[in-house]
Structure formats: C-alpha cells, structure tokens
Amino acid sequence: MLARHHDPIAAIATAPGRGGVGIVRVSGKGLQGLVQTLCGRPLTPRQATYLPFCDAAGQPIDQGLALYFPAPHSYTGEDVLELQAHGGPVVLQLLLARCLEAANQPDPASGQRVLPGLRVAQPGEFTERAFLNDKIDLAQAEAIADLIDASTEAAARSASRSLSGAFSHEIHALRDALIHLRMLVEATLDFPEEEIDFLRKADARGQLSKLEQTLAQVRQRAQQGALLREGIKVVIAGQPNAGKSSLLNALAGAELAIVTPIAGTTRDKVQQTIQIEGVPLHVIDTAGLRESHDEVERIGIARAWDEIAGADAVLFLHDLSRCDAPEYIAADADVAGAMAEKVSKNVPVIDVWNKSDCAAPAARLVATVGARASVRLSARTGDGLADLRRTLLDVVGWQAAPEGVFIARARHVQALHAVAEHLAQAAAQLDATGPALDLLAEELRLAQNALGDITGEFSSDDLLGVIFSSFCIGK
C-alpha cells in the first residue's frame, strides 16, 4: 500500500446539490475518539442514533442520524462513521469542515490529537480502500461506478449482478481450472521422464478444450455487458434532404432536430441517447454530405465525416423518392466511395431506404447494396422503424439479454481476448509433436495473469489509479 492509504479520510458521500438527505463519511483506523468528539457520546455499532451535530462552540449545525461501523464490518474494511443530515450543500460543507476540525482537537484523556492526518478523500478512495482491504475485488469495484452511471434498467441490473460477484465468480472458476492445468504441466516439468504420457493420462488436452469452451461463453456474456455499459455510437449519414433529421426525431420520439425541405438545414451534429432492449444507442444526426461553397456548411460536413469515422455503426440514408434520378445516383455513389475509405471494415454500415410512403411502387423494390444489411422505412410514418431497431442490434452483436449478463468494460473484454490467445498458443504446443512443455507452461501462466488483471490480483498501481480516479468523490 502507498502511504496515503493509511491516512484517515472524509468526504461528502452524496451528489452535489440540494436534497432531502446528505451524508458525510469518514473512514480510518480508530475512529472512537472522533465519534466521541463529534457526537458527544459513544455510538452503538450499526445502530442509527438521532442527535444534534454541533460546531466547536457547541452551536448546532443540524440534527440527523449518526452510524458507526467498526472494522472490519464496514464498506471500506476500516472504522467508518456516517453523518446523515439535511442535504443542503452549505450544511454538508459545514459538517465536513467540523470533522476535519475535530480530528485536530486534543483528546482530553491523552492530550494527543483526536484523529491525526484526517484529510479529504480523493475520488473513489473509499471504494479503493474496500478493494485494498479485500472487501471487494476490482471487477466489483468497477461495478459500483457502473451501477451509479447506468443509463438503462438492463445496464443497472447487469451492474448489480457484477457487484454481487457474478462476473468475479466466472473469472475465479476459469482461474481455478487454469491453475489445475498448470499444476499438471509443472509436475511434468519436474519429472521429465514421464513427459507427455503423464499429460495424456490426466487428459490435459480435454481439460484445456473445456477451459476454452467455458472462456468462449464468458467472453460472449462480457461482450454483451460491454455493450450495455458503453452503448453504441450510431451515426446517420447521407445526402441532404434524405431524411436524416426526421429519422433521428423518429428514433428519439421527440422533435430534436430542425426539419425543413431546404437542403443543408443541418449544419452541425445533433445527438440523442435512446435505448433499444436496454442497450444505450448514442444516435448522431449529421450534416448532409455534398460539395458546398458555404463555409459554415463545409465545416459541418467535415465534422460529419469525423463522426462517421469514429462510429460503431453507420446508417447510410438513401432517398427512395429520388433513387431513379441520375444526379442523385451519382452523388450517392460518391458518398459511398468516400465512406468505404473512411469507415473501418469492422464497422457495420446499414443501408436505410427512407421515404417509402411517398416513393413510386418501382422504387420500393430497390435492391440491397452488396451484402450489407438493408432496411426500407418511412421516418415520417414510422413504418419500418422496428425493423431498423432490430437490425441495429443484430449488426453490433447484441442478443436478447438473458438474466446471466453481467456488466463489463472494454478492458475486461481485452483481457479475456488475451486469455483466449494464450490458451490457443498453449493448445498448439500441446498438439505439437514433441511439445515444448516450458513454453506451454509459460502460455498458461500468462493466461492466468490476464485473468488476474480483471479481478485486480495482478493489476499495477497505475491501472488502479486510472480506475478509481473516475469515481465520484465520497464513493
């Protein structure tokens, strides 16, 4: 642990602003003296006590509830004191200042300061203490922040499952199986005369195959969880007057973007987050793509291309009412060519044929472009929107969320990918004629380390700093 991890800490634990209740939290070793100084009496552990909170002169700041949780039975694993007062920002700042002031008062019994070194907590430091004191692992710690930040019900439920340890349980089960396999390989290295016969008798290849199958299932659920947490950036692109703004409004169910028959109405991006089956979609309407001499419109078009290049999925909007006009077809081809250069091959592009309600019957039969997903709809009437929503989820790999999905982050998915690569290398070594058992053992060790990165068993201090700094202060 770093030196700062031994300091007692205090912070306002509720969100900024006014509310019915606000909480000031203190965590550290040996808080009994601070409890006595602040509350004027000892507190019964884990029992709420209603009392006045007074300043150094004995004047009341507020009245509320005080709760004391002795170590190790607390959120952080240290002694924890919570003062629950009215949720006005001035009141809470006064209470926090009183905690810091009381910590530096002399204890009447010993003459020493009540709680030397008490300081304001850094972002995420309470949860970091919980992790360092083995109350939770790193995946559970991240799930706390994800539960707070959840933008959909499905994301909140998945974060709650991760917080309860569902994701960690899966990782620990993989780790235990991996350790058992490593044990077999290491034992074989210790007795080289046995070598591959010993591994065959122990069915090492079967154990590795089962491990790879289990890992594939965990990776699939983690990828679903990452979609729930991160959401999907969807960019609507196409020529002017294809109905991009109308489509954004239809998907959002609100008049967010200005819609007019005038080409070039949208000059800058308009963004709205919606949800489909609990998956957040960050939908961005962009300026119409064309050659323009208007400086403002050109800037908007450049920004549109920037958004398209960074999208998770692109809705390439086509106007069915103009799909037989030669100039429109040529301009669409130019946009398609530029899009092919700027959009990664891994990013799905959906061809959306809009204005089906006012297109000629022959135009409604327009064919799908290449092998890409294609949807015909009317942003004005809403016909075909359900198909578009379902297609969007399909192309990004979302499946109907079962109860077993847990929240996950991009780093979890990357770590599981690294595990899969190391296991694949291990399998290649095991299947080779005259396998190099030392290389096999090393691949298994690296796979275990990658799993440990998820739960924090092998995480660096730099990684921990990045993770916990993203938390709010007081959590």
Residue 234 near residue 281 (C-beta atoms within 8 A)? yes
User: Annotation-wise, does 82 bind a ligand?
Assistant: yes
Reference 230, options 330, 152, 287; nearest CA is: 152
DSSP string, 384-446: THHHHHHHHHHHTT-----TT-----HHHHHHHHHHHHHHHHHHHHHHSSS--HHHHHHHHHH
| Amino acid (1-letter code) at residue 187 | A
Reference 91, options 14, 9, 8, 27; nearest CA is: 14
Spell out a b/e string for 190-215, using b for 16 or more CB atoms within 10 Å of the CB, else e. eeeeeeeebbeebebeebbeebeeeb
* Residues pairing with 319 in the sheet: 354
User: Annotation-wise, does 245 bind a ligand?
Assistant: yes
User: Annotation-wise, does 263 bind a ligand?
Assistant: yes
User: Annotation-wise, does 266 bind a ligand?
Assistant: yes
Q: Is 277 exposed, middle or buried (0-12, 13-18, 19+ CB in 10 A)?
A: middle
User: Annotation-wise, does 193 bind a ligand?
Assistant: no
Residue 9 near residue 78 (C-beta atoms within 8 A)? no
**Cβ neighbours, 10 Å, residue 11:** 24
User: Annotation-wise, does 143 bind a ligand?
Assistant: no
User: Annotation-wise, does 287 bind a ligand?
Assistant: yes
Find how far residue 404's CA is from the centre of its chain. Answer: 17
Longest dimension (CA), the chain: 93
Q: How far apart are CA 323 and CA 314, in angstroms?
A: 20
User: Annotation-wise, does 29 bind a ligand?
Assistant: no
User: Annotation-wise, does 280 bind a ligand?
Assistant: no
DSSP string, 296-344: HHHHHHHHHHHHHHT-SEEEEEEEGGGTT-HHHHHHHHHHHHHHHHHS-
User: Annotation-wise, does 246 bind a ligand?
Assistant: yes
Handedness of CA 199, 203, 208, 209 (dihedral sign): positive
Rounded to 5 degrees, φ, ψ at 113 are -60, 145
Reference 153, options 279, 2, 40, 252; nearest CA is: 279
User: Annotation-wise, does 264 bind a ligand?
Assistant: yes
User: Annotation-wise, does 244 bind a ligand?
Assistant: yes
Q: Residue 26 gets which letter from DSSP?
A: E
Q: How far apart are CA 343 and CA 313, in angstroms?
A: 9
List Cβ neighbours of 172 (8 Å cut-off, separation of 6 or more). Answer: 455
User: Annotation-wise, does 243 bind a ligand?
Assistant: yes
Q: How far apart are CA 120 and CA 114, in angstroms?
A: 16
Where are the extended beta strands (E) located within 48-103? 49-54, 60-69, 79-87
Q: How far apart are CA 417 and CA 14, in angstroms?
A: 37
User: Annotation-wise, does 201 bind a ligand?
Assistant: no
User: Annotation-wise, does 128 bind a ligand?
Assistant: no
User: Annotation-wise, does 152 bind a ligand?
Assistant: no
Please state the residue numbers annotated as binding site for GTP.
241-246, 260-266, 285-288, 378-380
Which residues are part of a known binding site for (6S)-5-formyl-5,6,7,8-tetrahydrofolate? 25, 82, 135, 475
Binding-site sequence positions for Mg(2+): 245, 266
Summarize the annotated binding site as residue ranges: 25, 82, 135, 241-246, 260-266, 285-288, 378-380, 475
Residues annotated within the binding site for K(+) are 241, 260, 262, 265
